[in-house]
Amino acid sequence: MSTPERVVVVGFGPVAARLVEDLLPAVAAGTLALTVLGAESRAAYNRVLVAEVAVGRTAAGAIALADADELRRAGVDVRLGATVRRVDRSRRRVLLDDGAPVPYDRLVFATGARPILPTLRGLDFAPHAEPRLPEGVAALRDLDDADLLRRVVADGGRAVILGGGVLGVEAALLVQEHGAQAVLVHHGRHPLPRHVDDDAGRLLAHRLCAAGVQLVSEARAVAVQRESDRFAALELADGALVPGDLLVLSVGVRARDELAAGCGLATGNGIHVDGRLRADTEDRVFAIGDCAAVDGARPSGLIGPGWAQAEWLAAYLTRHRTPPVPAPGPADTLPAVPPSASPESVDPLPAASLPAEPPGAILLKARGLDFTSGGDVSPGLWDTDAGGRRVSIWADPQRGAYCKMVTEDGALTGFVALGLPRTAAELVLLYERGRELPADRTTLFRLEDPVAAPAAEPGPDEVLCRCSGATHGQVATARETGCTTVEEVGRACRAGTGCGGCRDRIEAVLRAAAREPVGV
């Protein structure tokens, strides 16, 4: 048997976890020697759900995506609390923070993203040092941050959330729902400025206030004020103070690409990779997930595309061995790289799936506030310079419902829907497939009445879980093979294992099966 190829994965987040899981058969077969190096002290967990852990809706253990001991028993070299400080491509090895070298034949960056830290007085970091937030300030990216927020929520305290984007709004609603006070400080007249027009924004703001969230709008934060070295208040440009027990920073994320930049790879808004996820020209270095800029596009910041990339790369690494070493050099001091033995040198895999074009719709993870949006909703109803785009609006503010649709040649190019869950689900499908809207738009709103418009049976190939890509057909098969809970379905076909937004639909499939007469 030939020497196993050494694959080293830097980072152990959700995307690396999927790659590792899919490479296990090759490890078992002895063709790959797999090492995964994670800076966090825990094995991968579902980061999408850290806010749910923070408010006590779920436990940290319940969002685990990997078990380090189990992986070690399966032959994977798992190292936790291991931060890679440098990559030495000429010698094909990475160096850990304690200086230990880890050699590789192939290297995968899965270093994800880090929160952007705003420029505020009181948040001053030493140049070139890993930034350390003061006590009482968190970024809600990992389980340690969740722990800080959990204490404030358990005490019914006051969390000041800076940033009115999707994660900020979701966090504010969760905090409020679980008995603490959320104060959302944001630029602009209303939260989610990139996803709403003015009317939807006003209705959204109204719904947030009705849920108890305090909004501080059109605010520019300038400083963090501390008392006894702990966060005490956020200072705004007009001198106003927003006091609280915890400041949650939610102003965006940035790809962690500095390690790749440091070893000479092309970076800038992520590690530049081609359609085959290659960061170099030698087919040795790859990047996936939140750190990867595929074919010049920014990382999507979503778990679904990262999982699709991990799945693709696992298949690629399993089928393709590294090419022979091209020229003698320092790398020759390392054990020889196995030759490119495979007759499949001509890649039988299509290029890795690129981020959806147009960018996918966003669905807010918030109970009781059905907010969905996609594309550009900026054109106004009466705009004459909207470049051929047409706008339809339907609103019922008393019921908390609003919908705006922007079309070009009949096809949906942008929409925002609030308080209209069934209409929104249909609009997501039409938007992501670039389909034409019905000429009579009011038919879409009739979908809200399940009696008048029973939902059409989805086809087996229709995607049910946007994160994992699992289809209705796969969920039906899981059900037919005996799965009776969402968790069992998740283990069978991965549906429902990402953001959890499809759990209701999986439950509906399971309930419908339970009602079916036996023996028919």
Residue 441 CB, shortest distance to ligand FAD, in Å, is 28
Rounded to the nearest whole angstrom, what is the least distance from the CB of residue 387 to ligand FAD in the complex?
30
Q: Name the phi and psi angles at 24, rounded to 5.
A: -55, -40
Q: What are phi and psi of 358, to 5 degrees?
A: -70, 165
**CB 496, min distance to ligand FAD, A:** 13
Q: Which of residues 277-316 bind ligand FAD (CB under 6 A)?
A: 289-290, 301-304, 306
The residue among 95 and 386 lying less far from ligand FAD, judged by its C-beta, is: 95
Residues 231-270 binding ligand FAD (CB under 6 A) are 256, 259
Residue 68 lies near ligand FAD (rule: CB under 6 A)? no
Question: 249: number of CA atoms within 13 Å, CB side?
Answer: 24
140 lies in the site for ligand FAD, by CB under 6 A:
yes
Give 14 or 164: the residue with its C-beta nearer to ligand FAD.
14
Q: Which residues lie closer than 8 Å to 382 by C-beta, 6 or more apart?
A: none
Going by C-alpha positions, the residue among 443, 442, 386 that lies closest to residue 409 is 386
**Binders of ligand FAD in range 364-383 (CB under 6 A):** 365
Stretch touching ligand FAD by CB under 6 A, among 45-53, 121-129, 215-223, 413-421? 45-53
Give the residue, chosen from 499, 502, 506, 510, that forms a contact with ligand FAD under the rule CB under 6 A. 499
The reply to whether 47 sits near ligand FAD by the rule CB under 6 A is yes
CB neighbour list of residue 100: distance below 8 Å, 6 or more residues apart: none
Give the contacts of 157 (CB within 8 A, at least 6 positions apart): 151, 180, 181, 244, 245, 246
Using CB under 6 A, pick the residue from 27, 36, 63, 84 that binds ligand FAD: 84
The C-alpha R_g of the chain, in whole angstroms, comes to 25
d(CA 142, CA 11): 13
**Which of 8, 13, 219, 405 is the binder for ligand FAD (CB under 6 A)?**
13
Distance CA 164, CA 421 (A): 22
Residues 417-476 that bind ligand FAD (CB under 6 A): 467
- Strands 371-375 and 411-418: what pairing? antiparallel
Task: For ligand FAD, give the closer residue by CB, 306 or 379.
Answer: 306
Mask 161-200, x = binds ligand FAD (CB under 6 A)? Answer: ------x---------------------------------
Strands (E), 112-152: 113-115, 137-138
What counts of helices (H) and strands (E) characterise the chain? 13, 25
Q: Are 89 and 263 in contact (CB under 8 A)?
A: yes
- # residues near ligand FAD by CB under 6 A: 36
Instruction: Note whether 11 binds ligand FAD by CB under 6 A.
Output: yes
Q: Which residues bind ligand FAD (CB under 6 A)?
A: 10-16, 37-40, 47-48, 50-51, 83-84, 110-113, 140-141, 167, 256, 259, 289-290, 301-304, 306, 365, 467, 499
